[in-house]
Amino acid sequence: MGNPALHAVSARSPAARELQWIVSSAPVPYEDAVAAMDARVAAIAARQAPECVWLLEHPAIYTAGTSAAPEELLAPSRFPVFRSGRGGRFTYHGPGQRVAYVMLDLGLRGRDVRAFVMGLEQWLIGALAMLGVEAERHEGQIGVFVGEAKIASIGVRLRHWVSFHGASLNVNPDLENFAGIVPCGFRTPVTSLAALGAETAMDKVDRALSEAFARSFGQAPPRR
């Protein structure tokens, strides 16, 4: 666990209704991220740590959510495959994709899971608008789309009404890597900010995510 952000995200601190905003500059192994989230969620539930949004990238992997079907993994030897406790089906994570792990206490936010997921979608739609991309929801599917192509996926889990896992936004990944799965169970094309000719500098993407967050969740990240 040599990544400094992992120590920050799992560290216990006095409970407070505040939001910790963490950005990891180096790729974080998936299993390390899950272990860190587990510790942080327990601390939030015990009122021993503030809520947290953690922005990071993973090495190239496929993850299987709780609804993933084996036949949706089309290239099982292409990348490591991790079984995940999050909702949803198969997805790809890798370089050029901004993953946002959102650890919020829904016990203090109305205990409405559907509203929370819609809030995540609206957050991403708002951030994309700031980057010059018009995105939308699709009826019957979770995530964010540009036209018919998916640009962001969402998969969450709750423990003691604290959320973890979250969303992934395609900034500049190798989109060919999605061909090894049926993304989220739908044979839907995928796209990225790079494919759309939009902004791909990760610091600018992070700034848009930060500025859009308060509009969806009523709480601004701390100033960096």
What positions carry a catalytic annotation? 184
As a whole number of angstroms, the distance between CA 180 and CA 77 comes to 9
Structural tokens at position 115: 């509203």
Q: Which residues pair with 2 in a beta bridge?
A: none
- State the number of CA atoms in the 13 A half-sphere of 100 facing the CB: 26
Quick one: residue 207, left, alpha or beta (phi over 0 = left, psi -120 to 50 = alpha)? alpha
Residues 6+ apart with CB under 8 A from 131: 193, 198, 199, 204, 205, 208
Short-list 118, 123, 189, CA closest to 150: 189
Compute CA distances 210 → 114, 213, 217, whole Å: 22, 5, 11
